[in-house]
Structure formats: C-alpha cells, structure tokens
Amino acid sequence: MRKTAIRLQGGFIVLFLILASGRAVPAQTSANSGAKPRKVFINLTGDEKSTHRLWMLLSFDLEDEGMAVATAKSGVDIMIDGRITRGPEKDNIRLGVIRMAVTSGNSARRFDSCASLSNGEEDAVDDLFDGEGKLQAGQIRSEYPAARTVRVDPASDLTASKKFAAEFRKSLEESGFSFVDSADADLTVKVALTPQKIAIETQTLHYEINVSERDGMHSSQQSGDSVVSAKLTEKPPALCPERLEDLSWLSQSDAFCGLAHETVMGIMGKKSKPAGTTRCHFTPR
C-alpha cells in the first residue's frame, strides 16, 4: 500500500491510499481533527504552595485530555474555582497495649507487647487487638509446653476487646489447655488490654473545588481535607517507642494527585480510577 497526494485547482490536496489492486479510496480522517480544544481557566486561592501544586497537576491532567489551560477568564468554556487552606491541628492516635503476667508455681513472668496503631474513632478500639488473642495464646503454649491447665485471673481486664477475649480463650483450648477455676492450675494468666491515647499534631489541608461550564450543562463541587504530615507532641510511651518513630502512614501523599484526577475526569464525564492507581507527575508535599 502507498499514499499519493494530488493537488487540485484552488490549492486543495486530496490524499488517496493506493491499494495493491490499484484502486484508490479516500483516507479516513477523525471527525474531531478540526475541533478546537475546550479552554479551561483555573482560579485557586489560599495556601500559596498548595495552590501552586494543585494548579500544576490540574494543568497536566487537562492537557492530557486535550483541553487548553487559559491565562484569562474571558471566552473560556470551563471555570475551576477552588480554595485551599493549610494549618496545624491537634489529634490523637491509639496504640493497643497488652500487659500479660503468667504465674507457674512460685515463678511469675511478664509478657508485655503492643498491638496495632490506629487513628480511628474511640468506639473502634476493638480492632486494635484483632488477631492478638491467638498470638498471645501461642506464646503461652510455646513458653510452657508441658502445662495442661490454665486459670484466667478474675482481675484481668479484657473489656477493650471482645474479639481478643473470645479468640484468646478459644486458642488456648485448641493448643491443649483446659480451663480451671482453682488456684492449683498449672498456669495463672492475668491480662490487661489498654487502648493508649497518644497526642499528635498534623498538618492538614482543607479544600473546596467548584467546576462550572459556560453553557450551564455541567457543574460540580468537591470538598474535604487531607493530612500532609504528622508528629508527636509528647514523649512516646515507654513500651514500643519504636512503633511511633514513623507516622507517615497517617499522611496522604497523593491527595492532590487524586483531587486533580477526579476533577478532570468529572469534566470529561469519565469514571475516576481507584485511589493510588492514578499517574502523578510529582508528589505534592
């Protein structure tokens, strides 16, 4: 197959594709090849660093979708208005602390450990100890392989997690222990669960984005907040201080990337990709 261009009177050029048979057919062209890209004006106010980064990300995503970013409001097809503020906020995270004492005869040993970290609501502390009942029961069996009977000290405090209490008892039974109430049990176990509060300070972004089109056919609003960074405001607890050395899990490094993507996909009438899967031109911090 080869291409041939023939100039006609008036300066027009017609492009033909010459097939192997020698027959000429007109080449197909895109219906939108001559369409002008829609113009978008981005107007962001608030925190200077944050607005600059979001403006850049919006510009990249708009251009990727074939739209042009305008330098003035006049004559544009779409307006993106937004405000972003940034500042410190006080908050708390929670650390699941397990304090366990095991008495065998005249010997007593302590097995203290930490469970999960969470920034969830206070009524969700049960999840801090998810799976820990089985782990703690396994440790007891490993340390006391010959023991056959066990007594849970009535002074134990398992109120912080019903899941732990049920799983702990079940796992002890499955490992070969029998529960007794008498003081002459092979082992007496005392367990206390504590959802310890830890004070932190976060740098948090608050945003509001409004999109409107000139023809009035489309308008949308987005608002929310995002943690950029976090730090302790007090000394870490004596137990497991290393667990609090890195609080980066609290921050959302791709918050602007996701916001820009959702905004542009909304304009295009497309479905946004799942969080964390969008391509970001740089990481906003």
pLDDT for residue 119: 87
Residue 240 covered by a domain: no
Tell me the average pLDDT across 150-161: 96
- Per-residue pLDDT tens over the stretch 125-151: 668 999 999 999 999 999 999 999 999
The predicted model scores a pTM of 0.70
List the one residue out of 83, 72, 80 whose CA is nearest residue 45. 83
Residue 190 covered by a domain: yes
Which is higher by pLDDT, 148 or 267? Answer: 148
Domain that residue 126 falls in: 90-198
Which is higher by pLDDT, 123 or 32? Answer: 123
Strand-strand pairing, 24-26 and 219-232: unpaired
List the one residue out of 270, 281, 114 whose CA is nearest residue 193. 114
Our count of domains for the chain comes to: 1
pLDDT for residue 121: 67
Strand-strand pairing, 39-46 and 78-104: parallel
Residue 103 covered by a domain: yes
Is the distance from CB of 171 to CB of 142 less than 8 angstroms? no
Residue 61 covered by a domain: no
Q: Which of 17-26, 171-180, 214-223, 247-256 has the highest mean pLDDT?
A: 171-180
Residue 54 covered by a domain: no
Residue 137 covered by a domain: yes
Tell me the average pLDDT across 72-93: 94
Tell me the average pLDDT across 29-56: 81
Residue 1 covered by a domain: no
Q: Within the chain, what is the greatest distance between any pair of CA atoms?
A: 112
Residue 17 covered by a domain: no
List the one residue out of 17, 84, 97, 56 whose CA is nearest residue 226. 84
